[in-house]
Chains A and B, each alone.
Chain A
Amino acid sequence: MSLEINCHLRRGKFNLEVHLTVAPGAVLAISGENGSGKTSTLDMIAGLLACTSGKISLNGKVFDDSTTSQFVQPELRGVATVFQGGGLFGHLTVEKNVIFGRGAAYRNTPRFDSAIEQFNLAELLSRKPSTLSGGQRQRVALARAFLAPSEVLLLDEPTTSLDATSRDEVRSAMKTFFETYNGVVVLVSHDDAEIDELATNVARITILRGENTTAVLHD
C-alpha cells in the first residue's frame, strides 16, 4: 500500500527520471535546484502531466501507465494540491475556495468547522484571495486540501516567497495537518529547516548535464 512512481518524462532535451515509493503516513520531501523537475514530478502524480514512459500507481490503482495507455484524469485521482502562491480561485470568496469540488459535500459539517478553526480562517470567509496576505492565502489552500478527501497530498513550495512570520505560521499549520493525515504526503521544498521539521523522508534530485540534461529522483 503506497504511492509508486517509476517513470520518465521527456521534454525536448530535458529528461526526468523518477523512482519513488512513498508509504501512507510518510512525508516525502523533494528538493533540488530550480528547473530540475520537482514541480513536474508533482504534476505527474496529480495527473496534470502524463509520463512519457513508465507507470504511476497508488495502492495498486494505476494512475498512469504508458504500456497500457491508461491515464486517470486528475479529478478522479483523489489528490489534493497546495501550490506555491496558493493556487486559489481569485473570483471566489475564501469560503467558496475551501469548499470547492470534493469539499462541497462537507459544507456545514463538523469537518468544515474544524478546517476553519484549524487554519484560523473564521474572520476571512467572505474575503477574496486578492485581499489576503501570502500566509493567509496558504492557510486557505491548506484548508481546501484538508476538507477535500484525498489519499495523496501534494505541496509545491508552500512557504516560498513568504516573510518569516507567515512562514512559521504556515509551517506549524502544515505540521498539525500532517499529524492527522492518513495518506501520502509529497512536499517540494527548498528550505532545509522546513524539511527537517516536517519530512520523514527526503529525496534529492540529481542532475547529469551532457548534451541532454537528465534529472534523476530516487528515494
Chain B
Amino acid sequence: MKRGLSAPRGLWLIALPTVAIVIVPVLAVFWRTDWSSFLTSISNETSRTALVLSLRTSLVATSLALVFGTPVAWLLANRDFKFKSLVRAFCVLPMVLPPVVGGVALLFAFGRRGVVGARLDEWFGIQLAFTETAAIMAQFFVAAPFFILVMEAAFDQVDRRIVGAARTFGAGPWRTFVTVTLGLVRPSLLAALVLTWARALGEFGATIAFAGNTAGRTQTVPLAVYSQLESGGDDALALSTLMMIVAVSVLIALRGRWVSALRRGGQ
C-alpha cells in the first residue's frame, strides 16, 4: 500500500475514457502516417500553397488580434462603461458559436450582398468574400476572443498601485502602459499570442463559409485536409500529422502557461 491520503476508489477508471478519447486519435495519426512519403506529401504543390497561405493568414490575423484586441482587453479590465458586460459577451461570443455560423454571419455582413459588403462594393468596388482577406477575417473572428479573454485576465491582475507609482514618477498614461503594464503582462501576452495563432491556424468552419475553398487563394491547411479527405487523396493524413506536430509543439512551448493565464492572468 502507498502511504498517504487516499483518493476515492475507482476514480482513475472513470477518468480513463476522457484521456483515451484524446490520446488514441493522436497516436493513431502518428501511427498511420507513412513517414517515408511524409516530406513529399507536405511539399507537393497543393500542400505547399496551403501551408504558405495558412502561415501568412494566421500571422496576419494574430497581429490584428494583438493590435485591436489589446485595447479591448485593457478597457474591459480597467474601465467601467455602459453595457460593459454586453460588450464582453459579444467579444467572446465567437468562442461558443459554431465557427461555420460565424462564417455565415460574416458572409451576410461583408459578402457582396451583405449589409456592409453591398455598400463596400457599390462605393469602393471592394469585394471581401471569397478572398484571402476573407480568410484572415474569418480567422480573426474566431481567434481574437481567445486573445481578449487571456489578456483581460492578465490586465486585471496588474497591481493598480504599481501602475500608479509609474504615473507619480513621471510616466504618462501611454508610457506607463507600454513600459510598465505591457512589461508586467509579457508572459501572458506571449501565451495569448501563441494560443490565438494556433486557433487561427486551425480555423475551418468560418473560413469555408466566408472565404470558400479555392486552392491557392483561400484554401488553408485545414481546408486542404478536408478536400484531400473528400477526394480520397493521400495527403490528408500527412497534413493532419503536420498540424498535430504544430499543436503539440505549441503546448510543449507553453507548458500549461495558457491555462494558468486563463485562470489568473499568468502573473
Residues on A facing B (Cβ under 8 Å) = 43, 46-48, 73-75, 77, 79-81, 83-85, 87-92, 100-103, 144, 148, 154
Whether B79 sits at the interface, judged by CB under 8 Å, is no
Please name all residues of chain B whose beta carbon is closer than 8 Å to the beta carbon of A91 when the two chains form the complex.
183-184, 186
Please name all residues of chain A whose beta carbon is closer than 8 Å to the beta carbon of B167 when the two chains form the complex.
46-48, 73-75
Q: Is B168 touching A89 in the complex (CB atoms < 8 A)? A: no
Whether B9 sits at the interface, judged by CB under 8 Å, is no
What total count of A-B pairs have CB within 8 Å? 67
Whether B100 sits at the interface, judged by CB under 8 Å, is no
B residues 165-212 with Cβ under 8 Å of A? 165-173, 180, 183-184, 186
Q: Is A87 touching B184 in the complex (CB atoms < 8 A)? A: no
Q: How far is the CA of A84 from the CA of B161 in the complex (A)?
A: 9
Specify the chain A residue showing the minimal Cβ separation from B169: A101
Q: Which of B165, B170, B171 contacts A87 (CB 8 A)?
A: B165
- Chain A proximity of B179: nearest CB distance (Å): 8
Q: Is B184 touching A89 in the complex (CB atoms < 8 A)? A: yes
Q: How far is the CA of A84 from the CA of B164 in the complex (A)?
A: 13
Given A89-B184, A91-B183, A91-B184, A79–B166 Cβ distance below 8 Å?
A: no
**Count of chain B residues with a beta carbon within 8 Å of a chain A beta carbon:** 17
Q: Which of A43, A74, A102 has the most CB of B within 10 A?
A: A74
A-B contact pairs, 22 of them (CB 8 A): A43-B164, A47-B167, A47-B168, A74-B168, A75-B169, A75-B170, A81-B164, A81-B168, A84-B161, A85-B161, A87-B164, A89-B184, A90-B162, A90-B184, A92-B183, A100-B166, A100-B169, A100-B171, A101-B166, A101-B170, A102-B169, A148-B169
Q: Is A77 touching B171 in the complex (CB atoms < 8 A)? A: no
Q: Is A89 touching B170 in the complex (CB atoms < 8 A)? A: no
Q: Which of A43, A77, A89, A144 contacts B180 (CB 8 A)?
A: A89
Q: Which of B166, B170, B186 has the most CB of A within 10 A?
A: B170
Given A89-B184, A91-B186, A80–B168 Cβ distance below 8 Å?
A: yes
Q: Is B161 touching A144 in the complex (CB atoms < 8 A)? A: no
Please name all residues of chain A whose beta carbon is closer than 8 Å to the beta carbon of B159 when the two chains form the complex.
87
- Chain A proximity of B257: nearest CB distance (Å): 16
Q: Is A103 touching B169 in the complex (CB atoms < 8 A)? A: yes
Q: How far is the CA of A91 from the CA of B173 in the complex (A)?
A: 18
Given A73-B172, A102-B170, A81–B165 Cβ distance below 8 Å?
A: yes
Given A89-B184, A91-B183, A92-B183, A83–B161 Cβ distance below 8 Å?
A: yes
Closest 9 CB pairs of A and B: A101-B169, A101-B170, A91-B183, A87-B165, A74-B167, A102-B170, A48-B164, A81-B168, A74-B168
Specify the chain B residue showing the minimal Cβ separation from A81: B168
B residues 145-172 with Cβ under 8 Å of A? 159, 161-162, 164-172
- Chain B proximity of A73: nearest CB distance (Å): 7
Please name all residues of chain A whose beta carbon is closer than 8 Å to the beta carbon of B164 when the two chains form the complex.
43, 46, 48, 74, 81, 83, 87
Please name all residues of chain B whose beta carbon is closer than 8 Å to the beta carbon of A89 when the two chains form the complex.
162, 165-166, 180, 183-184
Please name all residues of chain B whose beta carbon is closer than 8 Å to the beta carbon of A79 when the two chains form the complex.
168
Q: Is A80 touching B169 in the complex (CB atoms < 8 A)? A: yes
Q: Which of B161, B166, B183 has the most CB of A within 10 A?
A: B161
Q: Is B183 touching A87 in the complex (CB atoms < 8 A)? A: no
Contact with A along B20-33 (1 / 0, CB 8 A): 00000000000000
Q: Which of A73, A80, A90, A101 has the most CB of B within 10 A?
A: A101
